[in-house]
Chains A and B, each alone.
Chain A
Amino acid sequence: MDIPYTVAVRRDTGLNNGKIGIWLFLASEVMLFGALFASYILIRTGSPNWPRGDTVLDYRLATFNTIVLITSSVTMVMAWASLMRRKFGTFRIYMAATVLLGGVFLVVKYFEYSHHLHLGEYPSHSNFFAIYYTLTGLHMLHVFGGMVVNAYFWGPGAKLWEKNPVWFTNRVEHSGLFWHFVDLVWIFLFPTLYLL
């Protein structure tokens, strides 16, 4: 059956269902990462000696990753803007760039993790590493999840553009909101773990 306001906007709220849905989901994600940040604060303040992030982790690699992720946020929003301009080809290029940049982020993280594990710096090594792996690991899962959804919209999901371009544009927008959120979390994660 037809669920109203899947695409069209409900007049008194000014929103469609997907927009509300994704923001509600993101609100729950704020609390999820919030709990990890709260744990970080509690553990760090209770610790007699906590290393400054850049003495243990490679902040330059992380800076590079920060730039990668921010750039991918731009390509994401440009992908959506291209759809708004009805330029499907351009959308595809920007969306591919977003997915690829996400891939670069993951590859860099792979090298980061390998390096630490090689040095015997497992999660069990210290609470610094425990929270480092947990925070960045959870974040990484979100990057991966976002990439999967974006890849879907770049590939098989793009068929919806033919049948219902407005709905497709909205879905890309909502996926973009998730992607920007992932970038937002990293913007806080990066200085917390690597610089402070």
Chain B
Amino acid sequence: MSDHAATHDHDDHASHDPAEIDRHVRVYIMVFVALMVLTIVTVAVSRFHLSVPVAVSVALLVATVKGGLVACYFMHLISEKKLILAVLGLTAAFFVVLLALPVLTHSNGFWIPQPAPAQTDAEHK
């Protein structure tokens, strides 16, 4: 608080230098256009009703690119400090674990297969 009168050392990825900020704004506009295009792409692709695995892969890929643009440029992760990136990397790892492991425990024999039922039930009376 007592620093407000002091230097401009609050952050260095975009100082008060107008030219620098102009450059950032240009990036924001470009990212906006890219996001609009990708939104149209993801909706358009969905109209083809591809098979579920393919549809999921494509949709996730596009979403990841869009999300990546928002994260890198709107949220400035592209120039963020290592500490923040490390925390987010750790989070991403656990996020993947959370999404993948439960369904994996279920896909490899969730219901332990029962032996096939006998041919004629009448014999078991």
Contacts and interface: CB of A to CB of B under 8 A. Distances in A.
Interface in A24-54: 24, 27, 30-31, 34-35, 37-38, 41-42, 45-46, 52, 54
Interface string B102-117: 1100110010000000
A14 B85 CA distance: 13
A167 B1 contact: yes
A177 B75 CA distance: 6
Contacts of A180: 70-71, 74-75
Main secondary structure of the interface of B (DSSP, over half): helix
Nearest to B12: A14
Given A15-B84, A24-B87, A195-B46, A34 B95 contact: yes
Interface stretch (A68-76, A99-107, A116-124, A133-141): A68-76
B58 to A, nearest CB: 9
Contact of B42 (A30, A176, A191): A191
Contacts of B121: none
Interface residues on A, range: 35 or more
A82 B95 CA distance: 34
Interface of B: 1-4, 6, 8-12, 14, 16, 18, 21, 24-25, 28-29, 31-32, 35-36, 39, 42-43, 46, 49, 52, 55-56, 59-60, 62-63, 66-67, 70-71, 74-75, 81, 83-84, 87-88, 90-92, 94-95, 98-99, 102-103, 106-107, 110
